[in-house]
Chains A and B, each alone.
Chain A
Amino acid sequence: MKAIAVAWGDNTAMIGRSLRRSSRDVEALVTAIMLPIVLMLLFVFVFGGAIDTGTYVVPGIILVCAGFGASSTAVAVCSDMVNGIVDRFRSMQIVSSAVLTGHVVASLARNLVAMTLVVAVAIMMGWRPTTNPARWLGAVGMVMLFMLAFSWLSAALGMVARSPDAATGFTFLFLFLPYASSAFVPVDTMPTWLQGFATHQPVTPVIETLRGLLMGGPVTSSAWLAIAWCLAIAALSWTAAVDLFVRRTG
């Protein structure tokens, strides 16, 4: 029981730290919120004539936004690792994963704020998703699980990156994956060589689930696949990130 209390205390302390840091980095916060909105306006007004905005763009933007938000974890983790403060944390009697948990939870919080705004702007622009509360809840859960998985993956990449600049480079992966999925256009409109990747990469079942939940349609099979992908990515990334954190000798 005492161990659980200590772990809870360490984690909440670190989450508090990361949230404070997030709320003070105004530039990063504005970017995290503005970029998805600008991206959505761009898609709706520039490509709106060519692709089905309601079905394709909004769920896609939500995932781009989630991926982009998750990638900021890599920068936050890496900045800590190149600063002397990580040695202070590692030489203290604390749950070693707490530093990383703090960054991941702060990333989730930033992301949820950005996401809420994106959805609000979309609705203002005439997007009409489902009004079924259970389906909304399912959609929010799916997005959060996706963000959790990719935030931990991002944390692991932040452990590997040698500098925050290098960590920023990893955002490429997160921005690229939704585009090479069924997020914006149906997979069967892609060249054959890309179809295989687009069909079997993790973002596709997530987006199919999200689209099904928000716009109506079947979700069951893609939902199980999406949950399995996210849990697997989260578990592997968590293990790798924490292991790297404990062993990192600097």
Chain B
Amino acid sequence: MDPVLDACGITKRYGDTAVLAGVDLQIPAGSVLALLGANGAGKTTMVRVLATLLRPDAGTAQIAGHDVLTEPDAVRGVIGLTGQFVAVDDVLTGAENLALMTRLAHLPRVERASRVRMLLEKFDLSAAAQRRVSTYSGGMRRRLDLALSLVRAPRLLFLDEPTTGLDPASREAMWAAVQDLVADGTAVLLTTQYLQEADRLADRIVVLDHGRVAAAGSADELKAAFGREVVRLSVCDPLSALRLLGDRAAIDATGTVDVSTDGSAEAVRRLLVELHHAGVVVDRIALERPTLDDVFLGLTARAAHGVDA
């Protein structure tokens, strides 16, 4: 089946600066792609190009078979956008905001009221439906914002840093709502600065760095490719362990010696044998899996040093 989003070579420059330098993205139906990157890596620009808000300088993109550049209007009919800044009308009530969107989404008249009720309920806003949005908390505003994007079930939903500034409970609710959508077949393009969010939601992760794809793959693939598994050793004599292992090891504040490995049993066995032969007694060992944070920091640090990823 064709992917819902198929973008190829998207390029956008401002003056001499290439904000996007030929980015390819594909998202199949019912899956989440997370776009990771530091501030200024080009995440929001990519979202704006794909959501028909910004014309790219080069590249092509199709969303559900419609060309973003030549059929923007058709594309707008199949996407939903929850942008970086909450896009709700503060002067209107929650219910009025939703009712306005049902009209603008051209829902048949008879379906509008029930759709509004359903979304208010789903996003736990029924009690606040008749209050002006200016009285809402940050979490409520974000939930309403997402609800407004879902008035007409989109084929592709853009979520640009949807949980920035939310408390943990609201974040959890947001994640659950996204997972429901994906289960119903919606494709999601998520940008986030929270790697935990990407780890939790994303089927596939693309790391952007200075407008280029620095790495792409599932969370596990990225961890295996770019993260390093660490063996944590509790030893009686950390200093002699350090002398033996040199650069490969580091000692932390509690006296635990951390050794980077590729995570294979063979590597761990060789390490223990080496320590045993040198007479270093190991009390216990623990294996620490890499986190996406390690991957992300590693990748952006490599790029900063001019090394091709």
A residues neighboring B (CB under 8 Å): 6, 9-10, 13-14, 16-17, 20-21, 24-25, 83-94, 249-250
Check if A94 sits within 8 Å of B104, measured CB to CB: yes
Residue B117 is within 8 A (CB to CB) of chain A in the complex: no
- A93 to B87, Cβ gap below 8 A? no
Asked if B100 and A17 sit within 8 Å, CB to CB, the answer is: yes
Q: How many residues of B contact A (CB 8 A)?
A: 30
Chain A CB within 8 A of B106 CB: yes
A13 B91 Cβ-Cβ under 8 A: no
Are the CB atoms of A91 and B52 closer together than 8 Å?
Answer: yes
Query: Are A24 and B87 touching (Cβ within 8 A)?
Result: no
| Nearest B residue to A88, CB-CB | B87
Q: Which of B52, B83, B106: most chain A Cβ within 10 A?
A: B106
Closest 6 CB pairs of A and B: A84-B85, A84-B87, A13-B103, A88-B87, A93-B77, A93-B76
Q: A14-B104, A87-B83, A93-B74 are in contact. List 13 more A-B contacts (CB 8 A).
A: A20-B92, A21-B89, A24-B132, A25-B91, A84-B85, A85-B87, A85-B89, A86-B87, A87-B51, A90-B53, A91-B51, A249-B48, A250-B48
A87 to B88 Cα, complex, angstroms:
10
Main DSSP-derived SS at the B contact region: loop
Q: Check A6–B106 contact: CB distance below 8 A.
A: yes
Q: Residue of B at shortest CB range from A22?
A: B91
List chain A residues, Cβ under 8 A from B89. 17, 21, 85
Partner of B103, one of A9, A20, A83: A9
A21 and B104 form a contact (CB under 8 A): no
Between A and B, 6 residue pairs with Cβ closer than 8 Å are A13-B100, A16-B100, A21-B92, A84-B83, A86-B87, A249-B54
- In the bound complex, do residue A250 and residue B53 qualify as a contact, i.e. CB atoms below 8 Å apart? yes
* B156–chain A nearest beta-carbon distance, Å: 11
In the bound complex, how far is the Cα of B101 from the Cα of A242, in angstroms? Answer: 21
A-B contact count (CB 8 A): 71
Q: Does B96 contact A (CB under 8 A)?
A: yes
The CA of A88 and the CA of B82, in the complex, are separated in Å by 8
Q: Contacts A10-B104, A16-B100; is A91 near B53 (CB within 8 Å)?
A: yes
A223 to B103, CA, bound (A): 40
B295 CB to nearest A CB, Å: 31
Q: Given A91-B76, A93-B73 in contact, is the A13-B104 Cβ separation under 8 Å?
A: yes
Q: Is B105 a contact of A84 with CB atoms below 8 Å?
A: no
User: Given the interface contacts A21-B89, A84-B86, A85-B89, does A91 sit within 8 Å of B79 by beta carbon?
Assistant: yes
Min CB–CB distance A188 → chain B (angstroms) = 48
Output the residue of B54, B89, B96 with the most chain A CB within 10 A.
Answer: B89
B194 to chain A, nearest CB (A): 20
Closest chain B residue to A9, Cβ basis: B103
B148 contacts A by Cβ under 8 Å: yes
Q: B201: CB under 8 A from chain A?
A: no
Tell me whether A9 and B106 are in contact in the complex, defined as CB-CB below 8 angstroms, given that A21-B92, A87-B87 are known contacts.
Answer: yes
What is the bound-complex CA distance between A152 and B18, given in angstroms?
Answer: 37
Residue of B nearest to A24 (CB): B91
Kindly state whether residue B81 has any CB partner on chain A within 8 Å.
yes
A92, B105: Cβ atoms closer than 8 Å: yes
B76 neighbours in A (Cβ, 8 Å): 91-94
